[in-house]
């Protein structure tokens, strides 16, 4: 489908505008522009208004459309009535009138227009005033007592008798499994018959004319864009990927004169090996200018670029690869010049200021170049992203190569200026930067307010928290220094209990009672906090990287924004602690208690959690990657927007938990238990969940597509609109479950048990069912078409009403492979 303008050079508009137009202009028929199947006869439709703005008579006008050799004219009158006493009243004046079927001839019982007016009830004479149609054919005006003709430019709705009868006499018996043999292809046309051509495509480049359907233009004229629609089809054939380039026919023209826009619809058909097109891997549509064809090689190259996992996103916005360059209309990425972007303006102003300062000091050092490097490149337009990326990548590689060369030269020719210093450890770097910051503030007090200095110090501290894993660990304090520091802490605990901001790196605080103490932004990297009691303590933004938390109690502690990178411990208690935004990189916890704790908006990367408790915890917006979780329990926990990526999950217990919008990506889970849990809109794409337990679980709109769920247990589960397509469910137990509306397309249900399962409207097309037991299952309106059975498949006592596929009389003896 292509949305473009009526007049002037044809410019494509973006797809969101197309669907917005359809929703607004075609609300009466659900926003449907087409039924997708190719049409034997091309057609033209128009939606809009009749306008009297271009004539003196405001009570009636004629509207018309013409395309190629097709022309149609309608007469539109103001509101009129027919009364037994006075006959037809004069039409009322109007400025514009919507050309809807409710204003044309018809009414209840009219096959051509059930929505219309002017048609009396069967065997009835109008007892009072009767509204007459506003829209008529000029040659067939409506007269009371005579049968009229429905007149309009718009679509005939699919459920009107005039279209339904085209489905054929055998349609009802087909049960939705295809079209009847006597189906008339005219059903797929939406336009009235007098708006259809005697050929299957619109006249290429045909001229059109529209009259009295625009408030300021009496006549709108133009030509159809001379475009050629193509489509690259990728399919699986004989174990190989094959490409084919299709030519599409322009079959349908939608006109929206009052909006000065039109929509062109193109069709094509291609044979498929599977009735659900499972052999088709992808479709890539394109448009060409008629005189500028592109070959199969071009589209194959575009597909390879766009499907590349690393760079495909860069090429996805290059519309010119699939569309005529001259047809690309302005949109958000082209309407605003890149150089006017505020961010670019700010960077350029800063560069010019630094340039001026640099030139003022250039005489101080002979080796200082007078000019700064060019400013960063302006933001590229979306279609320039691939070239921009290549340019920036090449510059980065050149800079890296130059830096490596200079480093190697410095290593081979050491000098006092290039002596390599030992890497900074622990808080050494932040101490140095704080000193520089304070010296700079003291030297320029007019530029450094107390608020600015405090803000900068906060930023330095947060930088330290995030850089913990990128630097070497701080060393443990010597015994005497550790003893003195512990005594200082004990003294504060006897007075203010305020340890905020203190540098306690490597300190031995084991066994201390720190309940309610304030350790906000305290530096505790590598500290020994084993057996400490930090209940209700304020540890916000504290540095706890590599700390020993064995046996520590942090019940109800505030740990928002704290860094626990590479922290470790066994038996630590975080009950009801708040860990929002905390940093957990590479932590190692065993038998720790996080029950009723709160973990929001953070990442757990390469963590190891063994036998930890998260019962009743609130976990929201977490990204867990490359982690090992074994024997952990999440009973009655609230999990929202969790992503498990490349994790190893063993014996996790989610019973009675609530999970929403969670995803398991590349994270096999062995024997997970979801008994009594509720899962809403969760995704397990191709996940391995063998021997998973979902007893009594509620699953709503979840996806296990392509997953490995052999031996999974779904007894008494409620599975609502859940997708198990192409999943391995061999030996799974679905007894007494409610799987209404679920998808099992191409699933492997071999040896599975579905005793008394509710499978109303479930889709099991092409599923493998050898040895499966559907005894007493409810298969009302289920789809079992083309399923694979064997002599062990059982349907004893199953309910078959309106089921597709396996006939109702099937028995165990009749089932066959």
The mean pLDDT of 734-760, rounded to a whole number, is: 97
pLDDT value of position 355: 64
Among 30-39, 289-298, 425-434, 631-640, where is mean pLDDT lowest?
425-434
pLDDT value of position 816: 46
440: phi then psi, degrees, rounded to nearest 5: -65, -40
C-alpha separations of 70 from 73, 211, 225, 715 in Å:
10, 14, 18, 63
Counts of helices then strands in the chain (DSSP H, E): 11, 32
pLDDT value of position 313: 87
Contact 691, 670 (CB under 8 A): yes
Contact 533, 556 (CB under 8 A): no
pLDDT value of position 662: 97
pLDDT (tens digit, 9 = 90+) per residue, 546-572? 999 999 999 999 999 999 999 999 999
pLDDT at 400 over 70: yes
pLDDT at 174 over 90: no
pLDDT value of position 380: 74
Q: Which residue has the tokens 């704290």?
A: 562
738: phi then psi, degrees, rounded to nearest 5: -105, 105
Closest CA to 101 of 63, 156, 144, 27: 156
pLDDT at 538 over 90: yes
Q: Which residue has the higher pLDDT, 340 or 346?
A: 346
Contact 724, 702 (CB under 8 A): no
pLDDT value of position 373: 56
Strands 227-237 and 240-256 come out as antiparallel
pLDDT at 416 over 60: no
pLDDT value of position 460: 83
pLDDT value of position 84: 77
pLDDT value of position 342: 61
pLDDT (tens digit, 9 = 90+) per residue, 113-146? 999 998 876 555 556 788 899 999 999 887 776 7
- Percent of the chain clearing pLDDT 70 (strictly above): 89
Quickly state the pLDDT bin for 440 (edges 50, 70, 90): confident
The mean pLDDT of 370-387, rounded to a whole number, is: 66
What is this structure's pTM? 0.75
Exposed / middle / buried, residue 144 (Cβ in 10 Å: 0-12, 13-18, 19+)? middle
Quickly state the pLDDT bin for 336 (edges 50, 70, 90): very low
Map out the domains of the chain with their CATH numbers.
1-72+190-358 (no CATH), 157-183 (no CATH), 475-593 (2.160.20.80), 674-817 (2.160.20.80)
Give the Cβ contact number of residue 49 at 10 Å: 19
pLDDT (tens digit, 9 = 90+) per residue, 479-503? 899 999 999 999 999 999 999 999 9
pLDDT (tens digit, 9 = 90+) per residue, 581-635? 999 999 999 999 999 999 999 999 999 999 999 999 999 999 999 999 999 999 9
pLDDT value of position 357: 61
> What's the mean per-residue pLDDT of the chain?
89
Using DSSP, state whether 397 is helix, strand or coil: helix
The CB-side HSE value for 163 (13 A sphere, CA atoms) comes to 16
Quickly state the pLDDT bin for 338 (edges 50, 70, 90): very low
Q: Which residue has the higher pLDDT, 57 or 237?
A: 57
pLDDT value of position 434: 76
Q: How far apart are CA 542 and CA 524, in angstroms?
A: 7
The mean pLDDT of 92-107, rounded to a whole number, is: 95
pLDDT value of position 314: 87
pLDDT value of position 333: 54
Among 145-149, 333-337, 687-691, where is mean pLDDT lowest?
333-337
> Nearest 5 degrees, angle CA 87-CA 93-CA 99?
90
Quickly state the pLDDT bin for 261 (edges 50, 70, 90): very high
pLDDT value of position 447: 75
- SS3 breakdown of the chain: % helix, strand, coil, rounded to 5? 20, 25, 55
Closest CA to 602 of 575, 660, 651, 563: 563
pLDDT value of position 418: 47
Beta bridge partners of 605: 625
pLDDT at 49 over 70: yes
Q: Which residue has the higher pLDDT, 414 or 10?
A: 10
């Amino acid at each position: 489908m292509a949305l473009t303008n009526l007049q002037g050079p044809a410019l494509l508009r973006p797809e969101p505008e197309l669907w917005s137009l359809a929703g607004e202009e075609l609300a009466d028929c659900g926003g449907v522009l087409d039924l997708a199947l190719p049409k034997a006869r091309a057609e033209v439709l128009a939606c809009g208004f009749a306008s009297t703005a271009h004539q003196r008579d405001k009570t009636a006008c004629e509207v018309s459309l013409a395309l190629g050799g097709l022309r149609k004219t309608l007469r539109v009158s103001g509101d009129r009535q027919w009364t037994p006493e006075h006959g037809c009243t004069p039409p009322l004046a109007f400025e514009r009138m919507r050309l809807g079927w409710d204003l044309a001839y018809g009414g209840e019982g009219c096959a051509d227009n059930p929505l219309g007016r002017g048609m009396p009830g069967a065997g009835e004479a109008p007892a009072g005033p009767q509204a007459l149609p506003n829209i008529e054919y000029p040659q067939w005006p409506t007269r009371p007592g005579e049968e009229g003709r429905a007149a309009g430019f718009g679509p005939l709705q699919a459920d009107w008798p005039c279209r339904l009868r085209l489905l054929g006499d055998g349609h009802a018996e087909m049960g939705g499994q295809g079209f009847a043999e006597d189906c008339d292809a005219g059903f797929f046309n939406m336009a009235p018959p007098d708006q259809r051509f005697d050929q299957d495509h619109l006249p290429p480049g045909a001229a059109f004319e529209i009259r009295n359907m625009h408030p300021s233009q009496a006549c709108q004229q133009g030509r159809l864009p001379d475009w050629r629609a193509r489509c690259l089809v990728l399919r699986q054939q004989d174990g190989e990927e094959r490409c084919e380039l299709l030519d599409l026919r322009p079959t349908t023209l939608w006109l929206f004169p009052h909006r000065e826009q039109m929509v062109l619809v193109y069709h094509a058909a291609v044979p498929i090996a599977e009735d659900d097109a499972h052999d088709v891997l992808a479709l890539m549509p394109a448009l060409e200018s008629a005189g500028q064809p592109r070959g199969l090689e071009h589209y194959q190259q575009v597909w390879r670029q766009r499907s590349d996992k690393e760079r495909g996103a860069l090429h996805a916005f290059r519309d010119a690869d699939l569309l005529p360059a001259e047809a690309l209309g302005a949109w958000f990425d082209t309407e605003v010049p890149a150089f006017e972007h505020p961010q670019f303006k700010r960077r350029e102003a800063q560069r010019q200021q630094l340039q001026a300062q640099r030139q003022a000091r250039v005489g101080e050092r002979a080796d200082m170049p007078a000019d700064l490097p060019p400013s960063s490149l302006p933001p590229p337009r979306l279609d320039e992203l691939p070239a921009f990326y290549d340019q920036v990548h090449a510059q980065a590689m050149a800079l890296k190569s130059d830096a490596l060369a200079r480093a190697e030269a410095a290593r081979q020719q050491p000098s006092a200026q290039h002596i390599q210093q030992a890497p900074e450890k622990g808080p050494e770097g932040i101490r140095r930067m704080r000193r520089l910051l304070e010296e700079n503030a003291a030297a320029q007090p007019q530029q450094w307010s107390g608020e600015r200095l405090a803000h900068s110090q906060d930023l330095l501290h947060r930088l330290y928290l995030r850089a913990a894993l990128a630097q070497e660990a701080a060393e443990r304090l010597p015994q005497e220094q550790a003893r003195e520091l512990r005594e200082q802490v004990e003294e504060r605990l006897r007075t203010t209990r305020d340890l905020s901001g203190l540098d306690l790196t490597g300190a031995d605080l084991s066994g201390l009672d720190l309940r309610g103490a304030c350790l906000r932004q305290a530096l505790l990297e590598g500290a020994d906090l084993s057996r400490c009691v930090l209940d209700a303590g304020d540890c916000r933004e504290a540095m706890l990287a590599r700390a020993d938390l064995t046996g520590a109690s942090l019940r109800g502690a505030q740990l928002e924004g704290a860094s626990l990178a590479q922290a470790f411990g066994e038996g630590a208690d975080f009950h009801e602690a708040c860990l929002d935004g905390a940093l957990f990189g590479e932590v190692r916890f065993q038998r720790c208690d996080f029950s009723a704790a709160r973990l929001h908006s953070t990442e757990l990367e390469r963590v190891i959690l063994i036998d930890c408790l998260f019962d009743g915890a609130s976990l929201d917006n977490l990204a867990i990657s490359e982690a090992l979780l074994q024997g952990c329990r999440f009973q009655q926990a609230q999990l929202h927007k969790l992503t498990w990526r490349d994790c190893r999950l063993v014996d996790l217990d989610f019973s009675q938990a609530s999970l929403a919008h969670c995803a398991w990506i590349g994270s096999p889970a062995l024997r997970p238990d979801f008994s009594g849990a509720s899962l809403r809109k969760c995704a397990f794409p191709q996940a391995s969940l063998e021997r998973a337990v979902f007893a009594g679980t509620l699953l709503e709109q979840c996806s296990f597509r392509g997953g490995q769920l052999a031996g999974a247990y779904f007894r008494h589960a409620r599975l609502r609109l859940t997708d198990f397509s192409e999943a391995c469910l061999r030996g799974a137990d679905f007894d007494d479950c409610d799987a209404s509306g679920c998808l099992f397309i191409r699933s492997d249900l071999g040896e599975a048990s579905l005793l008394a399962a509710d499978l109303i409207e479930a889709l099991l097309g092409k599923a493998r069912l050898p040895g499966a037991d559907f005894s007493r299952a409810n298969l009302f309106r289920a789809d079992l078409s083309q399923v694979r059975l064997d002599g062990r498949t059982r349907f004893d006592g199953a309910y078959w009403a309106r089921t597709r596929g396996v006939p109702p009389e099937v028995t165990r003896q009749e089932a066959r492979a």
